[in-house]
Amino acid sequence: MLLKFALNEFRNDREYRNLSPRTITSYLAALEEFHQFCVQNEIVNLEDCTASLVKNYLVHCGKNRKNNSTTVHCKQ
């Protein structure tokens, strides 16, 4: 499954659950950052997302994006 398609499914599910537009926007911004990280690492299929990839992304957020530990924790 393509990651972009999964993002659209996620948005539709959160709208169905009647989350606030602000909450959905916040979730999607975080997921879009992760999506860009995946693209940079040539990961385009959801099946190729591994726990190791997510851990590498979180380390990247802390070291390269200078996110504090609270922000990194929220991305988990």
What local confidence, expressed as pLDDT, does residue 64 receive? 82
Query: Which residue in 15, 12, 6 sits closest to 34, CA to CA?
Result: 6
CB within 8 Å of 51: residues ≥ 6 apart: none
% pLDDT > 70, the chain: 92
Contact 1, 26 (CB under 8 A): no
Asked whether the whole model's pTM tops 0.95, one would answer no
Handedness of CA 22, 24, 27, 29 (dihedral sign): negative
pLDDT tens profile 40-54? 999 878 788 899 999
Query: What structural domains does the chain harbor?
Result: 3-74 (1.10.150.130)
CB within 8 Å of 66: residues ≥ 6 apart: none
What local confidence, expressed as pLDDT, does residue 3 receive? 63
Q: What is the mean pLDDT of the segment spanning 19-45? A: 89
